[in-house]
Amino acid sequence: MAKEGKRRVRERWTTRLGVILAVAGSAVGLGNFLRFPVQAAENGGGAFMIPYFFAFFLLGIPLCWVEWSMGRYGGQLGRGSAPAIFSAFWKSPVAKYVGTLGVIGPLIIFFYYIYIESWTLGYAVYGIFGKYMGFSTQGELEAFLSQYQGLGEAGTLLPAYIFFLVTFAANFIIIYLGVSRGIERVSKVAMPILAILGLILAVRVLTLATPDMAHPDWNVNNGLGFMWNPNLRMLGNADVWLAAAGQIFFTMSVGMGIILTYSSYLRRKDDVVLSSLSASSANGFMEVIIGGSVVITAACVFFGASETVKIAESGAVNLGFVTMPLIFTKMLGGQFFALIWFALLFIAGITSSISMLQPAIAFMEDELRFSRHKSVGLLALICFVMCQFPILGLKRGLLDDLDFWGGTFLIVLFGLVQVVIFGWVFGMGRGWKELHTGADIRIPRIYRFIIKFVTPTYIAILLVVWFIQESFSVITMDNYPPQDRPYILVLRLILLALFGGFCYLIHYAWKKYPVREETT
């Protein structure tokens, strides 16, 4: 391993399929199987797919191309994190500080995401031993989940904490192994397994017979109808369009800084256009086809449409950890399918969570010239401390607050900054040329216009609407009970301090290593 302070040989992806699967693995996560069906069912059913595809083609795909292209460009300068990549595209001393969002954003998501990911591991292991197979009502499963989370009176956090430690260790071992030996190898094995598990579950759900003859309308046909029958009147509601755009941001891993870092390990002449589109299509497959077939359809078959409305309203966590286990208790071979379901979620989770760590690792290795050993050790320490907030403060809403800042607000803001830097500061002419370097397919020319005008306007509208509708209540913490607000405030101050700490590290790195090569 190269010594600290010296420029090291940057790792590279070994195969094209490897990088596609790694990016797809980053994008395919819990949101594909739990968040998407809830969003679709609540926002017009089949009609939701109209704003969804609008957002997919006008936000998701252009942003992916921009991120892939900017990342590869940064990689040629030996830089793989947003601060340095932004500096290369935007010759302003401010650029590197703005880029901090691309390092800290994915970390904020990691702080809570890994805890939920560890629940999937816990429930998979519990499924093997049939720990929740004896329950027969929603209430019993809800109590079981509360107990697992240490929230119930008789609950203890110990088992959940052990599963958290195992998941945490697994993530950092993969990251320690590096880009090609760790992330790429895991993605190449995990993604095909994920697709097979997803298909098995989808086939099982779509071939379910009517379980209760007293309710013949509780069947697969009506379950699919609940999910897909279009309510076109909902298209007049701006919230539906916002929900679709938010889903695209969340599911495609855009605006997080992850793709920037991943694509920085490409070679100069490696294609980004086709690879980016391939990863996006794989994510779409897992979301629309698998995610759209399994959860809501199964809930309708076993509980009927009116109960499914309540289930969908209870949120994605309830759907995954209460409703689905209950369905498995009623299903033939349920224990086996419960294991498949939670293994699917765990694999989807781990391929996403490792990607959230890599921007910070790249920052430490490329900018601070830390060794991998030191980078991984320091990041593990920061993450371990920060993960305690959602674990111990789950009841206080700390997990929800982290989810808002990391998984909703920052990704939209960072996406806007990124597309403006690419289309306006760097310039569309140069950007277009950069995109097509080594490209295996050409992007339709209309996307020059879309990247420059449509995508930034679309995102700006999202932010303005959010600002008008929600910013006040978010800032004043109106959506939390008064007794929880001090905890939320402390968490926000710590996140601000973390942001300040990273800004200082950037300042330090630029001062210590002032010579930065540029290829522009």
Please give the C-alpha separations between residue 84 and each of 88, 196, 374, 435, 510, in angstroms, as whole numbers: 6, 39, 20, 19, 9
Least gap, CB of 428 to another protein (angstroms)? 24
Using rule CB under 8 A, residue 225 touches another protein: yes
Q: Which of residues 169, 441, 489, 493 is near another protein by CB under 8 A?
A: 441
Residues between 243 and 272 with contacts to another protein, criterion CB under 8 A: 267
Q: Which of residues 284, 291, 320, 407 is near another protein by CB under 8 A?
A: 284
Residues between 488 and 517 with contacts to another protein, criterion CB under 8 A: 517
The site map against another protein for 368-407 (x = CB under 8 A) is ----------------------------------------
Enter the DSSP assignment of 45: G
Number of residues that bind another protein (CB under 8 A): 38
Closest CA to 273 of 136, 434, 122, 491: 434
Using rule CB under 8 A, residue 62 touches another protein: no
- Ramachandran class of 54: left when φ > 0, alpha when ψ lies in -120 to 50, beta otherwise: alpha
Least gap, CB of 359 to another protein (angstroms)? 22
Least gap, CB of 76 to another protein (angstroms)? 9
Using rule CB under 8 A, residue 440 touches another protein: yes
Opening angle at CA 321, ends 254 and 132, nearest 5? 150
The token pair that represents 440 in the structure block: 């295996």
Using rule CB under 8 A, residue 230 touches another protein: yes
3-state secondary structure of 135: coil
Distance from C-alpha of 144 to C-alpha of 238, rounded to nearest angstrom: 38
Q: Which is nearer to another protein, 46 or 159 (CB)?
A: 46
Evaluate whether 63 touches 459 at the Cβ level (below 8 Å): no
Q: Is the dihedral of CA 432, 435, 437, 440 positive or negative?
A: negative
Distance from C-alpha of 446 to C-alpha of 166, rounded to nearest angstrom: 48
Closest CA to 497 of 168, 108, 113: 108
Stretch that binds another protein, among 9-17, 91-99, 134-142, 186-194 (CB under 8 A): 9-17
Distance from C-alpha of 227 to C-alpha of 240, rounded to nearest angstrom: 15
Using rule CB under 8 A, residue 9 touches another protein: yes
Least gap, CB of 217 to another protein (angstroms)? 12
Least gap, CB of 285 to another protein (angstroms)? 5
Q: Give the 3-state DSSP-derived string for 99-125, with helices as H, strands as E and coil as C.
A: CCHHHHHHHHHHHHHHHHHHHHHHHHH
Residues between 69 and 108 with contacts to another protein, criterion CB under 8 A: 78
Evaluate whether 227 touches 301 at the Cβ level (below 8 Å): no
Helix, strand, coil share (%) of the chain residues, nearest 5: 75, 0, 25
Using rule CB under 8 A, residue 438 touches another protein: no
Residues between 13 and 52 with contacts to another protein, criterion CB under 8 A: 15-17, 20, 45-47, 49
Least gap, CB of 225 to another protein (angstroms)? 4
The token pair that represents 266 in the structure block: 């490409």
Using rule CB under 8 A, residue 233 touches another protein: no
Q: Which of residues 167, 247, 253, 278 is near another protein by CB under 8 A?
A: 278
| Site for another protein, rule CB under 8 A | 7, 9-10, 12, 15-17, 20, 45-47, 49, 53, 78, 221-222, 224-225, 228-230, 267, 274-275, 277-278, 280-282, 284-285, 288-289, 292, 440-441, 517, 519
